Structure 1
């Protein structure tokens, strides 16, 4: 996968699919002790076979997580484990809790989760960890006390700032802009938006104004409607940043069939297969994304390394993630995937995901 020099400082992580067969009573208010964190890592320990690894995305049938889930399943197959994908159809704050409870009862070895809410899932994840289950977050983190490691798709600061930079160049650093986000509680989205706002404080953006942060809840129709609402409320809007694959494709679909095509710039995070037609018809000039399959793949290997005792989640520990090579755990248990790519008309046909 080739990378664009201007975003070489960025780094990355993503996942999943089918619904859980059964649920248990929501126990989000139960405080359980976390698992023993004094264990010592054995980097030379073999990767165990037969590990049971469950992927729990923000929501099933989201194209981004569907792609990521395939990468995760590939990794689990490579180290001879068993994988399953479960999750809610909506991305509400507490929708994942019952699935965590069920996976805990099923005695999974690893839960890989993209948190809809950084705090709502923590009590259930603590219960899972107390039962000896390793917890890996990816794409969207939970509070650190609820997990062992976080597979981050990119440096939040660099990603947030780069989104602004990509859009600003298209607008010649002038005009009103808006952000079309996922859910109000999405940890990753909110962190990126904070850095977008900070970037806009720099002198070169003095003629740009962020007028609105809208939320499409990672639902296609709501994101489409929110885009329509933004342009109705701000008819002089010049640009939109949508750092969510569902949001950017819905916004592009609206713009491509409206009077605003070619007049309102759109960038954000999307998959090449979703966005190809909108790039080719001129609706979108550039957008970014890491490879979601690699995100899921890395999350699976991190889970395998944790469950095998190769790592405990401490800063400085290293593990090998198959074809992605050696990875090092950073501060606060964070592992970065790698630089995302900027997609445009010149390179988009080189990618198929």
Structure 2
């Protein structure tokens, strides 16, 4: 059992390579005020520069300011598991206090995260329950309720029949595939006249790829009635394709979206319904949990301001049930 005792002073994290960015929230003023209690918490996202993780970074920055810790976001400019692994290896070398990671490939990261644990670094996964090599996992949603919300919206919009397709960010992205499994199970039990047209497609983190795949699906599956996209760019790409083909009334699109990005598509019906959680809350909660654990607090005592107490599953999965249902009526008012 690891004990996360003792603090390190603030350290700079060097750039990992030309394909990575370090969006550290460190500044000259914070360095001047550094203390032994100034934990260094690195949040490694799937990739930098897309709306979802930009918003998540806002929460990390807010937590850093509120809690007096050196917390920051870092990540590669594309969702390459090897690049993410290299970033974490570099963080281990610099000796950070905690690593929060949103894995691109849970299996690829296993030995690297175990190495971090062996060095006494607290490891917290996000969107990867059951992650080998992580001490804890934080989740902003109840996965079953989340998947059902998107599946039910797709079924209603499709009239409860026809074929559907599932987009995921990658075939090895843990939660995307768990949501896909749960959605498939729910539709099979509740909408027997809906069938999955083909194997799930790994395109949900790329707008243009999702658009291209949707155009291919339209040609190949004339009975296609719904696309459920896991990955915040999957529904956007699908909507672009449906607009292009003037088929926004023919195929339902639901799934994970950033409200501000999806608003125009919800307004014209090219996306029917979105689900998500506030990525800023996710970043804030992860840093709050990391600091609490570094201070030796019991996981059952954690209560994140304005987010609440998590349900603790299996002793180390902290679930904040905060699913957002995103519609044309509320997309513009959610603030991100």
TM bucket normalised to smaller: 0.7 to 0.9
Change (3 A) 1:22 1:284: closer
Aligned with residue 75 of structure 1, among 38, 41, 63? 63
Bigger RCO (CA 8 Å, 6+ sep): 1
Deviation sequence 1:55-109 (CA, Å, 0-9, x none): 1011111211111111112112111111222212222333311111100111111
CA distance in 2, matches of 1:226, 1:107: 42
- 1:29-178 correspondence runs (5 A): 49-141=37-129, 143=131, 145-178=132-165
The aligned residue for residue 334 of structure 1 is: 317
State the secondary structure of the residue aligned to 2:77: coil
Pair 1:283 & 2:270 matched:
yes
- TM-score norm. by structure 1 comes to 0.82
Supply the RMSD in Å over aligned alpha carbons: 1.9
List runs of 5+ in structure 1 lacking aligned partners: 1-18, 24-47
Whether the 8 Å contact between 1:116 and 1:140 is mirrored in structure 2 is no
Change (3 A) 1:326 1:205: closer
Deviation sequence 1:142-193 (CA, Å, 0-9, x none): 62x4111111132222222222111111122111111111111000011111
- TM-score norm. by structure 2 comes to 0.85
- Figure out how many residues of one structure are paired with residues of the other and give that number: 305
1:259 positional shift: 2.5
- 1:19-38 correspondence runs (5 A): 21-22=15-16
- 1:204-219 correspondence runs (5 A): 204-212=190-198, 213-216=200-203, 218-219=205-206
The aligned residue for residue 266 of structure 1 is: 253
List runs of 5+ in structure 2 lacking aligned partners: 1-12, 18-35
The aligned residue for residue 281 of structure 2 is: 294
State the secondary structure of the residue aligned to 2:82: coil
